[in-house]
Amino acid sequence: MRSPFRGYGAPLLVAALWSPFVPALAESTPNSAPVAASSVFVEPELTLDQAVRLALNHNPELASARLEIQAMEGAEIQAGARPNPEIGVLVEDTRTATRTTTLQWVQPIELGGKRAARLAAAARALDQANVGLQAKQAETRSAVTSAFFEVLGAQEQVRLVQASLELARNATSIAGKRLQAGKVPPLEHAKAQVAESGVRAELAQSNSELQLARQRLSAFWGQGKIAFSRVGGNAEALPDMPLDQRLNELLSQAPSIRMAQLDVARRQALTDSERAKRVPDLTVTLGVKRANDLGRTQAVMGLSIPLPIMDSNQGNLLEALRREDQAREALTATTLKLQSDVSQSMEKLRLTREQVKLLRTEVLPTAQSAYDAAAKGYELGKFAFLEVLDAQRTLFQLRQQMLRSTAEAYSAAADLDRLLGQDARPTGQNQE
């Protein structure tokens, strides 16, 4: 079954990080009822799919991009409009007996393919607006994904600090009992109390960071208040590495490439439009003339065409040609930059995956064993408290590093999807 995370695993590292030695702890954030803004309603536990869907439906920047499409549709309609006719009345002589009245219908006729060139340019601009919306949607999905995992990581950081606080409390309790038994000096018990106070301060900071992360996520669908209690998802999986074949397929379809290609096409159409303007338009005149002194009505017909002697639109054409060349160079630059950015994101994803695997399989188990041995030895009077404290601090720092590396892996995967415009993993599922 397809994961609700579309190829991202959730960095819920509870079991892997601290479940072997710490019982389940209550959530630091109270389970208050969700607060909905306008028509937006979010369940108390938010999934990535829900967060992305809310952002796509309610994000103000996406609404602006959709309005841009509608504006370009209006521009395309206007580009297809033909010149309006003119109607005129000409009166010669003010005396009724000798007055001549002429009624004229004047119709300009565009030549040289001007209308077709305008329509082509407007169509490419509309295509650009549509691709711009797709690019903005990809950026939004990427940003929401990063913010989602930021909240998820902050939740796990709170749980991690809570676990460390529990350990610090146990250490303080043991030190107090040893102090009462006369086995350690008062200084050792004081050190344990100081260490516990330090963890309490870090817990307060972690709770604050979690609250800020939740606010940042809620802002993507235009909510001033947080409408969810927590985020949830898969507990252990890492984002997969994209296949090279899949990556090559998506590179040519990336929004930035398509946008640059459409800009070249639009510039070509604008060049054609300026070239067409060098062809003079024809003006046809039809009408009737009433001469009172002759007592009859006469037909009037005429043709007029300007002579492009003084102005042949050569300056505008030259500008359009250079703009077209500029768009082609921009396409080349965009392609090179995209390839570089994708390579960097791929390398970051590969490196962070390896770091997480190494921490998960080798480093953390070793640190856990070292802490367990130090704690047991301290209980039996074999080790000093400083050794236990050092082992605990090392274990805590390694768990934090694992959280950071996992979050960086999701950030790299999200950035890769932003660059390519869609999920680069073939199945959209995590395998690890």
Residue with tokens 């604008």, as numbered in its chain? 270
* pLDDT for 285: 94
pLDDT at 274 over 90: yes
Separation of alpha carbons 57 and 221, rounded Å: 8
Separation of alpha carbons 7 and 149, rounded Å: 13
The tokens describing 77, both together, are 């309609």
pLDDT at 292 over 50: yes
By the 10 Å C-beta count (0-12 exposed, 13-18 middle, 19+ buried), 407 is classed as buried
Range of lowest pLDDT (3-12, 99-108, 360-369, 412-421): 3-12
pLDDT at 39 over 60: no
Beta strands in 149-204 (DSSP E): none
Listed residue (84, 43, 82, 68) closest to 135, CA to CA: 68
Q: Which amino acid is at 126?
A: L
Separation of alpha carbons 254 and 85, rounded Å: 45
Separation of alpha carbons 160 and 156, rounded Å: 6
Sign of the torsion formed by the C-alpha atoms of 384, 385, 386 and 388: positive
* pLDDT for 425: 58
pLDDT digits (tens, 9 = 90+) for 154-206: 888 888 888 888 878 887 887 788 788 777 778 878 888 888 888 889 899 98
Fold of 14-420: Outer membrane efflux proteins (OEP) (1.20.1600)
Beta strands in 38-120 (DSSP E): 45-46, 86-92, 100-109
Average model confidence (pLDDT) across the chain: 82
The tokens describing 347, both together, are 């390398």
* pLDDT for 258: 93
* pLDDT for 427: 45
What number is the average pLDDT over the span 8-37?
Answer: 34
Listed residue (111, 145, 123, 128) closest to 65, CA to CA: 128
What does pTM read for this prediction?
A: 0.72
The tokens describing 90, both together, are 């000409």
Domains of the chain, by residue range, sit at: 14-420
Instruction: Give the helix/strand (H/E) hosting 286.
Output: strand 282-291
pLDDT at 281 over 70: yes
Per mean pLDDT, which of 9-18, 295-304, 331-340 is the most reliable? 331-340
Separation of alpha carbons 378 and 109, rounded Å: 98
Separation of alpha carbons 280 and 303, rounded Å: 13
Separation of alpha carbons 39 and 199, rounded Å: 41
Task: Tell me how far the alpha carbon of residue 134 is from its chain's centroid.
Answer: 10
Residue with tokens 């997969």, as numbered in its chain? 240
How would you classify the pairing of strands 100-109 and 282-291? antiparallel
Separation of alpha carbons 316 and 41, rounded Å: 54
Separation of alpha carbons 352 and 239, rounded Å: 10
Measured in degrees and rounded to the nearest 5, phi and psi for residue 296 equal: -150, 165
pLDDT at 309 over 70: yes
The total of other beta-carbon atoms located within 10 Å of residue 348's CB is 17
- The DSSP code sequence of 133-192 is HHHHHHHHHHHHHHHHHHHHHHHHHHHHHHHHHHHHHHHHHHHHHHHHTTSS-HHHHHHH
Half-sphere exposure of 389 (CA within 13 A, CB side): 18
pLDDT digits (tens, 9 = 90+) for 358-376: 998 899 899 999 988 988 8
pLDDT at 110 over 70: yes
pLDDT at 226 over 90: no
Per mean pLDDT, which of 82-96, 183-197, 324-338 is the most reliable? 324-338
Listed residue (139, 133, 144) closest to 53, CA to CA: 144
